[in-house]
Structure 1
Amino acid sequence: MSEIIWPQGFVPGFTDNYCSNEVIIAGLMTADIWPLLNTPSLWPSYYANSTNIQFQDGQGPELKIGAQFSFETFGFPVEARCIEYIPPVKGQPARVAWHGWAGEGDTRLDVHHAWLIEDLSGDRVRILTQETQNGLPAIELAKAKPNPMINGHQDWLQGLVAAALKEKGQES
């Protein structure tokens, strides 16, 4: 299976916080998932921890390389820029990732949030999301039990799958 491509400074094990969430589900394909993830204005419809999504400079409504957008999540107002964008192509995983940041000085949080979606044999799709974080807020998040990043991203994955199944007229 494919893996996330990490930029320098955000490689897991060398950051202040890291989380990884994955689902593999039958009956969906990358093409079912991509429109829901690629259009940030849809996120709040299936992920309650994502609000106030806005694109800058007339960009959007879909992501693309260099697109700058903002949103609120985990209590942080986040500014973000899409730095990896590979739409679905048969036989290759779809990828999207953004660098996000919030705060200044001691409250500065920098993240790399990446998604990988790939079709598997047996009419299955794999959705992997991983995030690394740097900064004092990341250090605190890493200590929290239960881990809010793991739990929040699992909610995002489950909501994404449920929304895709609903779009196909199936129940989750």
Structure 2
Amino acid sequence: MTSPAWPPGLDPGSAAVFAHNELTTHLPAERLWPVLLRAGDWPRWYANARRVSLPDGCAGLAEGTAFRWTTFGLRVSSTVREFVPARLLAWDGSALGSTGYHRWELHPAPGGGCRVVTQETQRGPAARLAAPLMRRGLLVQHQHWLEGLVRTAQEET
């Protein structure tokens, strides 16, 4: 799967902040995908996500889902912009003078399992002012998110 284009101004080359994390697991994408979509459950296994609010009657993320959540201590409004089942999930988000774009990609790995890639870009005054600190925080927290995703999917079997 070739990665789609980033939204204007939020591509890694022009954004103030870019973070890329990845992990390869023996689990297939089909096992990870449902765990990732249940955003309301993220706080159980990813400590940097709190107070996730989905629309009434919405069990998980889907194309166009608008949701609110707290991450890095900020209340963020997000909307799912890319959705390819068991392959690609991405949303935008904005809070306190920063606009971000977060993308998850699940790539089948040779011999089974998959490579999970998560990337985030940020732009805006807050991102420019705190770029090195923000990038370090994203790298650390997104690694925890990846590890929690795999651990939770494993436990659910």
Q: TM tier, shorter chain?
A: over 0.9
Long gaps (5+) in structure 2: none
Aligned twin of 1:30: 29
Aligned twin of 1:19: 19
Number of positions where the alignment pairs a residue of Structure 1 with one of Structure 2: 157
Aligned twin of 1:45: 44
TM-score, with length taken from structure 1: 0.85
Bigger mean CA deviation after superposition, 6-15 or 69-78: 6-15
Note the aligned Cα RMSD (angstroms): 1.7
Quote the offset at 1:65 in angstroms: 1.5
Match of 1:102 among 72, 95, 112: 95
Separation in structure 2 between the aligned mates of residue 146 and residue 39 of structure 1, nearest angstrom: 26
Mark the structure with the bigger radius of gyration. Answer: 1
TM-score, with length taken from structure 2: 0.92
Aligned twin of 1:129: 118
Q: Taking structure 1 as reference, are residues 141 and 25 closer, same or farther at Cα in structure 2, changes over 3 Å only?
A: farther
Separation in structure 1 between the aligned mates of residue 29 and residue 8 of structure 2, nearest angstrom: 28
Match of 1:80 among 78, 81, 104: 78
Misfit runs of 4+, over 4 Å: none
8 Å Cα contact 1:85-1:96 kept in structure 2: yes
Q: Taking structure 1 as reference, are residues 145 and 40 closer, same or farther at Cα in structure 2, changes over 3 Å only?
A: closer
Give the 3-state SS of the residue equivalent to 2:147 in structure 1.
helix
Long gaps (5+) in structure 1: 89-93
